[in-house]
Structure 1
Amino acid sequence: MNAVEIEAAISALAEQSFDGVEFPFAFLEAFGNKATTIKRLRTGSTNKSDVGGLLQTNNIHIAVAESGAVSKTLEALKASPATSRAKAKFILATDGKDFEAEDLQSGETVACAYQDFPDHFGFFLPLAGISTVKQISDNAFDIRATSRLNRLYLELLKDNPDWGSEAQRHEMNHFMARLIFCFFAEDTDIFSGTDLFTDTITKMSARDSANTHEVIGEIFRAMNTAHDLREKAKLPRWTNGFPYVNGGLFSGSVEVPRFSKISRSYLLHIGSLDWTQINPDIFGSMIQAVADEEERGSLGMHYTSVPNILKVLNPLLLDDLREQLEQAKDSSRKLLNLRNRLARIRVFDPACGSGNFLVIAYKQMREIENIINERRGETGRKSDIPLTNFRGIELRDFSAEIARLALIIAEYQCDVRYRGQQEALQEFLPLDAENWITQGNALRLDWFSICPPTGTGVKHHSDDLFEETNQAEIDFENEGGETYICGNPPYLGSTWQSAEQKHDLKRIFEGRTKSWKSLDYVAGWFMKAADYGLHTPAASAFVSTNSICQGQQVPILWPLIFESGHEITFAHASFKWANLASHNAGVTVVIVGISNQTGQVRRLYSKETVKYDGTARYDASIFYDGTTRRDVSNINAYLVAAPHVVVHKASKPSDGRGIIEAGGKPVEGGNLLLNAMQAAEIIKNYPSAKRFIKRVYGASEYIRGDIRYCIWISDSDMPEAANIADFGLRFEAVAKARRKSSKVTTQNGAQWPYKFEEAKQDGDERVIIVPKVSSETREYLPVGLLPPGSIITDLAFGIFDAPLWNLALIASRLHLVWIAIVCGKMKTDFRYSNTLGWNTFPVPTLTEKNKSDLTRCAEDILLAREAHFPATIADLYKPDSMPDNLRAAHEHNDEVLERIYIGRRFKNDTERLEKLFELYTKMTSSSKKAGTV
């Protein structure tokens, strides 16, 4: 369960009549415990409470107290030996009137009336495996409001199914945006009179909800009608208290879906929340899921934390503004210049969603402006920062609408905070109709029509801020100075792109590169940002999957970016972009900032620990979350502080190491590959067949220990093998399957049905095996030594009869970090490549002593594994349970190899990569001079 679902479940529990017997079970069920778990607790088989309560091991000890004895019962739970034995994280006591709980690990407590315990739902989220508790606690209101709006939305669709159709979806979404505004307005004095909207519906609509839609429709009509026109509009007198809002929010149709008694109750319940607590920078990203059928199943999980967004905005523009503020100190002139600069900065998010980046940028800039005003003695001064300078493009109309509303709310909240409630109210209404969020496809729209170059005007016009638009419609002159483009565009690897999305990339990249089909969808935003920067000074930064800075996408995308005159000005190396899902699930991303107006210093951020040795090169700033920042002279496309270089495939290594080749490709229709039972049956019936049956290895066979065999026959042995009847039947089946293939090479393979279609070994060699794909969770690549007579399939690579020191290279941390960044990944797993990874891997010239030392390291690794037979590679290389002797063997291998490179151990992976790129640059330069590439 996610946070929104949990909040809804415990709120429903609190609304029910208290049942002391059922409460503990219902409470656990609300936090996602399965029916089978609850059943076992009910029967007592897993309930080890010693105070007559309910004890769930490693989780919580709950007891229902006698009336008035809640505190005493909580103390008994805390002192209980069973609580300690079961390692309970929480204790909870209630009598249905009072409610008390304690987190035994942190010592934090909750004490409230029973009906109010849902207000503290974030306190208990570790019970559901959700670790982002602080983020949720900080934004508890947004989750509760989202939960209630979701219930209302679904209930309205149940009663008004036509409102969920494609034709009326926009109207439904627009209706929800209107409601959000009304709830916010009545709690923040934008509407005169407390709870004006909710109270009016309570009083004027019938309890059976028969006319609720009509009452709401009249309220909406009033807010779209100026007061001097209301009599003519024949509005009822009870609507006079509602202000004229304008801005298009209440224009157009005032049709409202019909309400049932249940949905009316939900509406009033939502109105009872304290909407002054809304966080527009967070709320929008969750509320957009309410109206998106595809996202509703993961409601509350699409959360972008403020710290993550600031990872983009701080280095893009905010750090520079704060530095200038610090340098200005109390200089009135410098402060005035900075304030004027702030007023002319435009922030443009061409994938703005519900406006998170824009809202946070606006709020941060208002905070800086307020400090300026305070230092100049102008506290409470009207802001010079216009909302029109915060512009966006969003594909979904409801998200675009929420983005506009979020910015309006953010502006009002900032005015209240920095100018006071009275001044904020005086200037808030009526809303302006300027349209700064455009609904449409960002990769097809002309960005210059939305955020034009400095000094030009925009002549497109919109009368309606909240009108659904399919093109840029802006009715104000551009006053921007600097332009900053930012956001979190959709990633979508090439495999998952729709035909329409493929066409979007084709429009951008066709004619520039023939390989554009391999690019992630997010690459389109980087290219359009670079194109934008060709015509006006701008800096851009996007969140992206790290795949655009790895493997095959680097030589496709980044030369085009660099050719446009842009450089990488800052970057965050790979980190988890977390959300509110259980266990803090998230995708691995990078943040890349580009600009054609670069200084001499670039900033590289990383979550790696930096060890200091006094050298300036590794001096770094360390932030509260463990992120380090280093100032470097260049950042290349792999996000390494090294010269610009693209790693290209090489046909073979440039030194004397072994040649890695792909294993054999069977293409045999299931007839040459055998499981253990099939192999044993053939040998039982035909003992002479034993020498033709060999152990076969692909990735799973080597890593997980799966046992498979294959029939392996050379041309010279075919006459003898033909006498084995079972083989003959299998060969006929192989030939038949290959003849049916549409590939000519496979059809030709029907001539030798007793062999793999492709095979690069004779079957008697010693083989160093490297699986093509392996898990990213391992600290070392799985590489091993197979005995002579082992066959590898095309799911693995092999070095045949190679010296053992080759294995030491592949088993090193150095090689893993090179493969991870140069070869890229398949989903999140390492994807090995011989031509791109092994053949390009920079290795210093090795002496015979070096090779001897590395050979011994390889032997030590193999012996350490052997000591744990029959444990598999999958078992041995689990990060949390890797055997000490095996880890020590790898550590020694790393030390020996790294001393060959630089005379000491590397400090971290960042330093490893920098050295490897330095060597690769030298290696390719010398090859070019020698004419070998």
Structure 2
Amino acid sequence: MTSKEIISNLNVLVANFNKEEFIYDLLLAYGSSKTSVLRLKKGDFNMSDTEGETLYKNKLFYAHAATDLHLRVDAFAKEERILKQKPRFIIVTDHQLIVAKDLKTNVNIDIPLLELPSYYDFFLPLSGAEVYRSKNDNKADREASYQLARLYDILVQDNPDYAKESHLLNLFLSRLLFCFFAEDTDIFDKVGIFTDTLAQHTQANGADVHEFLNELFTKLDTENGDFPKHLQNFPYVNGGLFRDSIKAPIFTTKSRRILLECGNLDWSEINPDIFGSMIQAVADPEERSDLGMHYTSVPNIKKLIEPLFLNALNKEFEKQHNSISGLNKLIARLGSIKFFDPACGSGNFLIITYKEIRLLEIEVIKRIAELSIQQGLTLPMQFTSIQLSQFYGIEIKDFAHEMAILSLWLAEHQMNKVFDDRLEGLGQSKPILPLKQAGNIACGNATRMSWEKVCPRGANDEIYILGNPPYLGSRNQDSNQKDDMQLVFGRDFKSLDYVTAWFYKGAKYIEGYDAQLAFVATNSICQGLAVALTWPRILNKNIEISFAHQSFKWTNNARGNAGVTVINVGLRNKSNQPKYLFTNITKEVKNINGYLLDAADSYIDELPLPLSKFRPMMKGNAAIDDGNFLFSTEEQAKAFKIKYPEQAYLVREFIGSQELINSYKRYCLWLKDAKPTDILNNPEIQLRVENVKRFRNRSPKTQTRKYADKPLLFMEDRQPDSDYLMIPVVSSENREYIPIGFLTKDVIANYSSFILPNATALEFGIIHSKMHMVWVSAVGGKLKTDYRYSAKLCYNTFPFPETTAKQKTLINEYVYDIMDERAKFPEKTMAWLYNPDTMPSGLRQAHKALDLAIEQIYRLAPFENDAERLAYLFKLYEEMTKKDTLFAKVKKTRGKKV
């Protein structure tokens, strides 16, 4: 059955609830056959002899209870007679609430019966299906976060005064998480000691749970002391986690039960790299919308740390593969490198880095052992040289700061176990308890703090800065963030993305030192106008881009996957070492510029007029009318013309990007040439005009209010008196060419497009060429990864050589070929014609012929690839702007305004 069918069935069930039939209706809702359910009702399949109970082998156990639903579920889940039949679910209800336990996943629900359709996926196994769990999930991942979220919410509800102190509640939650992890991973001597002791020494109503936890936390922070016998087996932890005296919140029966359920999960395989951010979401209402989205993508983190330092360290390992002294030097190096994340969040990047460095150290030690055996040498017991004190971070949120420290502790313990297991007697890790310093993680605002104080840099220090700083466009920055930007940049910062503060401070930090950095960032800082605004501030005579990943989706396997489009950019002091550009392939390049291209360090700025003496291009018309000039549907436009035939001439086709690409029909009222009598004699037009006037008068913008006195007109009227060429503002990245088309002057151009009046076949051919597309892709802005066309930035800056009459004639012929090929498919949309999977072969060939003709205007030798095309275009752009003093001056003036 589909999920929609199940939800529909459950809606019917709760709407027509029947106490006697409930459990049978539930089975039917999930697709059990009517025959099987009928036999169950008769008793054939019911394995329970107790009246009022239903025990369906391999399916469920069901009972009605008036009180103590949670206690009854727990009791039934332990009864041998029930477990013998291997039911998947234990279900108890009082016909108002449903309390159930999934015996396979050990997960409980407690919901009002009326909300059953919203929780349909819990009982999904009754239909024969399982809820999808991604490969990155482990035994204490998403379900743990949901359980903890439930616990957090109940504690906040039951402890309103305590909830006001968010730091205390966050710290309390951190301590619980440590105890869950410690009892499942041998940090505590006995498996399950925390949960078992809690269950045995607290009341079922939860009244004394806070007293138990207060005393336990004191014990964990006390090296010697007099404590009750049931707490004496708990060790001294230290490390600061239990140092501060806090009072545990008050618990109830329900919150105690959830606490025990959390403890019954298996935390032994938890990944600290997802742990911090996942739990941070529990305590942060702004991030609660989907707890699953906070799973770290380890492959994406490795995309950044591998070219930054890991590849070089592995290469050094290979180089010293047969040298014991060289390998020992590598181990010493691993134990001295500093890793610094100035926006560390809950520590994901630092944790992955720590684990990878520890794994490399293990391989180095194993190789030393092999060489020692070959040479008859005695290898002493090995200990790790890598310490958490090598890891530095800054985080502004105090709970994330606490989680980073805790997660590093957990990562150290996990890697100690890996160290002992893989070295098989050659190495031995030191006991984790009492806890030592867990990294140098500072709590504060990285834009305002001194990075040198957080992570001191010495002349001989090897330092790598890494992470995923916050990125916010200038319009999305609040007043505090704008103050941050002003503090970092002084003046001229208003159009910069927030993430540029980290690149700028990072570049200043590494300059002149044995240090490098790499950050994840929004791809917008390497596109369009942002390039000229951002990178001249960062790249200078000493700093260069060492590697870059061009735009890719930062995705993971979790539910609610954000799929943000990002880039990776690495910076270093200028060096003769190779530079690498990563796309679908890895390529060694000579230079990486601010567009993340293998090209010269040019910065393309807007130009008011075309550099190549093309005809001027402009935006389409903007009504600014609150929709009053528009018809919602084609039928509405037809109805108007039928009702008012004398004013039918005022209804005009209204075309923009989406209409051109997808052949949508859209219409508007164009009153610019309307006769006064046609306005006066048409009540619908009068009403629309009055609404436009009222809308503009209420606008907070002065310019809009001025146009309230011209309510018949589009506020931005650029409609040409001639036929024109239309270019969409936004177009899919999947297309090799942006779809463009000629339109007649009677068709009103929407603001979502650019228009070129009196355009010729030559301009059509240039704009529709591969060379222009390469330029647009490189220097234009992007909407995620889609093309975003700009007249001033893409069209006006495009460098194009002078053409001869013969070349123009040839281009015209190829353009006509393209139009002829399009005309063969009159029923098809532009979207279909230019979809790579459906593009007709004839149209594709016509475009290839045009591309070759355009490229031969630049040079006779064919270009090998897009990188070569771009390099040529950047070089020509530099020559043309230097040659033409007008544009050179314009560019310089723009630079001063920024």
Matches within 5 A, 1:329-368: 329-368=321-360
Other-structure match for 1:116? 104
Task: State percent identity of aligned pairs.
Answer: 39
Deviations 1:650-702 (A, max 9, x none): 23223354321223444567676667678667766886756665433333443
Instruction: Say if 1:694 and 1:305 are closer, same or farther in 2 by CA, change over 3 A.
Output: closer
Q: CA separation in 1, counterparts of 2:764 and 2:236?
A: 76
Cα pair 2:391 2:439 within 8 Å, conserved: no
CA 1:410–1:847 in 2, change beyond 3 Å: closer, same or farther?
same
Distance 1:435 1:329, change over 3 A: closer
Distance 1:142 1:215 in 2: 27
User: What is the aligned partner in structure 2 of residue 481 from structure 1?
Assistant: 461
1:36 — aligned with what?
A: 8
Deviation of residue 852 (structure 1)?
4.1
Equivalent AA in structure 2 for residue 97 of structure 1: K
Judging changes above 3 Å, is the alpha-carbon distance between structure 1 residues 143 and 904 closer, same or farther for their aligned structure 2 residues?
A: farther
Matched to 1:453, the amino acid is R
2:167 and 2:526 map into 1 onto residues whose CA distance is 38
Q: Which moved more, 1:567-576 or 1:805-814?
A: 805-814
Query: Secondary structure at 1:427's aligned position in 2?
Result: coil
CA contact (8 A) 1:769 1:799 kept: yes
| Among candidates 204, 222, 237, match of residue 219 of structure 2 | 222
Structure 1: how far apart are the matches of 2:393 and 2:215?
32
Q: Which amino acid aligns with 1:362?
A: Y
Determine the structure 2 residue equivalent to 1:109.
none
Alignment check: 8 A CA contact 1:600 1:633 kept: no
Instruction: State the distance in 2 between where 1:49 and 1:867 align.
Output: 54
**1:696 to 2:654 alignment:** yes
Distance 1:309 1:680, change over 3 A: closer
Would you say the 8 A contact 1:416–1:424 is kept in 2?
no
Distance 1:128 1:193 in 2: 33
| Residue in structure 2 matching 1:450, options 446, 450, 454 | 454
Instruction: Please give the TM-score of this superposition, normalised by the length of structure 2.
Output: 0.79
In structure 2, the CA distance between the partners of 1:446 and 1:126, relative to structure 1 (3 Å rule), is farther
Q: Is contact 2:616-2:756 (8 Å) kept?
A: yes
- Matching residue within 529, 545, 562 for 1:568: 545
Aligned-partner SS, 2:409: helix
Shift of 1:569: 0.5
CA deviation after TM superposition for structure 1 residue 540, in Å: 0.8
Kindly report which structure 2 residues correspond to 1:513-912, keeping only aligned pairs within 5 A, or say none: 514=492, 516-534=493-511, 536-563=513-540, 565-582=542-559, 584-607=561-584, 628-667=585-624, 694-704=652-662, 705-711=664-670, 713=672, 755-763=713-721, 765-776=722-733, 778-826=735-783, 829-848=786-805, 850-873=807-830, 890=847, 893-894=850-851, 897=854, 910=867, 912=869
Contact 1:190–1:425, Cα closer than 8 Å, also in 2:
no
1:589 is aligned with what amino acid?
Answer: V
Shift of 1:647: 0.5
Q: Matched residue of 1:370: which SS?
A: helix
Letter in 1 for 2:454: I
Structure-2 separation of matches of 1:713 and 1:129: 60
Q: Is residue 6–residue 29 contact of structure 2 (8 Å, CA) maintained in 1?
A: no
1:203 paired to 2:203: no
CA drift at 1:491: 1.4
Give how far 1:570 is off.
Answer: 0.4
How big is each residue's C-alpha offset from its partner over 1:501-526, in whole Å with a ceiling of 9 and x where there is no partner? Answer: 12211211223xx2x22222111111
CA contact (8 A) 1:734 1:753 kept: yes
Between 1:301-310 and 1:252-261, the stretch displaced more is: 252-261
Secondary structure at the aligned position of 2:140 is classed as helix
- Structure 1 pair 734–406 and aligned structure 2 pair: CA distance change class (3 A): closer
Tell me if structure 2 keeps the 8 A contact 1:530–1:564.
no
Deviation at 1:432, TM superposition (A): 2.5
- 1:390-445, Cα deviation, whole Å (9 max, x unpaired): 01111211211111111112222222222469986753222225661111211121
Correspondent of 1:97 among 86, 89, 95: 86
8 Å contact kept, 1:573–1:590: yes
Summarize the Cα distance change of 1:838–1:314 in structure 2 as closer, same or farther, 3 Å threshold: same
Alignment-derived partner of residue 373 in structure 2: none
The one-letter code of the counterpart of 1:192 is D
Distance 1:116 1:921 in 2: 67
Contact kept in structure 1, 2:720 and 2:757, CA below 8 Å = no
Distance of aligned partners of 1:197 and 1:804 in 2 relative to their CA distance in 1, 3 Å threshold: same
Distance 1:266 1:723 in 2: 72
Once the 2 structures are TM-superposed, how far is the Cα of residue 174 of structure 1 from its aligned partner? Answer: 0.9
Deviation, structure 1 residue 795: 3.2
Worse overlay, 567-576 or 373-382: 373-382
Cα displacement (A) at 1:710: 3.8
Please give the secondary structure, in 2, of the residue aligned with 1:836.
helix
Question: 2:6, 2:30 within 8 Å by CA — same for their partners in 1?
Answer: no
- What's the counterpart of residue 308 of structure 1? 300
Equivalent position amino acid for 1:440 in 2: G
Query: What is the rounded CA distance, in whole Å, between the counterparts of 2:480 and 2:470 in structure 1?
Result: 14
Q: Distance in 1 between matches of 2:420 and 2:28?
A: 62
Task: Specify the alignment match of 1:371 in structure 2.
Answer: 363
What code does the residue aligned with 1:203 have? Answer: Q
Distance in 1 separating the partners of 2:852 and 2:85: 63
Aligned to 1:610: none
Distance 1:736 1:219 in 2: 68
Alignment-derived partner of residue 151 in structure 2:
152
Whether the 8 Å CA contact 1:400–1:438 is kept in 2: the answer is yes
Report if aligned partners of 1:663, 1:792 keep a CA contact under 8 Å in 2.
yes
Pair 1:436 & 2:436 matched: no
**d(CA) in 1 for partners of 2:198, 2:106:** 26
Q: Is the partner of 1:770 in helix, strand or coil?
A: strand
The 2-side partners of 1:323 and 1:209 are apart by 57
Separation in 1, partners of 2:873, 2:864? 14
Task: Measure the CA separation in 1 of the matches of 2:258 and 2:344.
Answer: 30
Classify the secondary structure of the residue corresponding to 1:300: helix
Quote the offset at 1:837 in angstroms: 0.5
**Aligned CA distance change for structure 1 residues 580 and 241 (closer, same or farther; 3 Å):** same
Question: Amino acid of the residue matched to residue 159 of structure 1?
Answer: D
Answer whether contact 1:669 1:734 (CA < 8 A) is retained: yes
Structure 1 position 327 matched with structure 2 position 319: yes
Q: Secondary structure at the match of 1:709?
A: strand
Rounded Cα–Cα distance in structure 1 between residues aligned with 2:594 and 2:438: 39
Q: Distance in 1 between matches of 2:393 and 2:249?
A: 30
1:571 aligned counterpart, secondary structure: strand
Residues 298, 669 of structure 1: alpha-carbon distance in 2 compared, 3 angstrom cutoff: closer
Moved more, 788-797 or 639-648: 788-797
Report the Cα offset of residue 219 of structure 1: 1.1
How far, CA to CA, are the matches of 2:540 and 2:353 in structure 1? 30
CA distance in 1, matches of 2:29, 2:744: 50
Counterpart of 2:387 in structure 1 is 386
Any idea what the Cα deviations from partners look like across 1:7-63, whole Å, max 9, x if unmatched?
xxxxxxxxxxxxxxxxxx7xx76xx97623767999999999999899xxxxxxxxx
SS at match of 2:357: helix
**In angstroms, what is the RMSD of aligned CA positions?**
4.3
Query: What amino acid is the match of 2:235?
Result: P
1:900: how far off?
5.7
CA contact (8 A) 1:348 1:392 kept: yes
Aligned-residue offset at 1:367: 1.8
Deviations 1:151-183 (A, max 9, x none): 3323333333433x342x111111111112112
Report if the CA contact (8 A) 1:767-1:787 is conserved.
yes
Alignment CA distance shift 1:678-1:559 (3 Å): same
Q: Match for residue 405 of structure 1?
A: 406
**Residues 210-236 of structure 1: per-residue CA shift (max 9 Å, x gap):** 222211221111111112xx13xxx32
Secondary structure of the residue aligned to 1:301 is helix
Indicate if the aligned counterparts of 2:606 and 2:792 stay in contact, CA closer than 8 A.
yes
TM superposition shift of 1:645: 0.4
In structure 1, the partner of 2:112 is: none
